[in-house]
Amino acid sequence: MSAHCQLTGAQPGFGNRISHSHRRTSRRFDPNIQRKRYWLAGEGRHVRLTLSAKAIKTIDAIGIEAAVARIRARGEKV
């Protein structure tokens, strides 16, 4: 499963780990990605989405129909 949110487009960020002696090594900051299933009443079916925790809160606020419209506007298949 890739660390990519279908609604917000959140992807991993990259940076450095810095040790006590200040040596730098590469690291990756992954978003909090969850797989969640929603009932899409307009289409009479369930959809399974890969979402960040922030996107789950956004869906709670705007509703699943509006969220799916945003995802489709970004060009992703639902």
Element at 27 (helix H, strand E): strand 24-29
How far apart (Å, rounded) are the C-alpha atoms in residues 78 and 73? 11
pLDDT for 6-65, tens place per residue? 999 999 999 999 999 999 999 999 999 999 999 999 999 999 999 999 999 999 999 999
Write down the pLDDT at residue 4: 94
How far apart (Å, rounded) are the C-alpha atoms in residues 56 and 64? 10
Confidence of residue 2 (pLDDT cuts 50, 70, 90): confident
Of 71, 77, 5, residue with least CA distance to 36: 5
Write down the pLDDT at residue 73: 95
Q: What DSSP designation does 14 have?
A: E
Per DSSP, the three-state class of 76 is coil
Write down the pLDDT at residue 27: 97
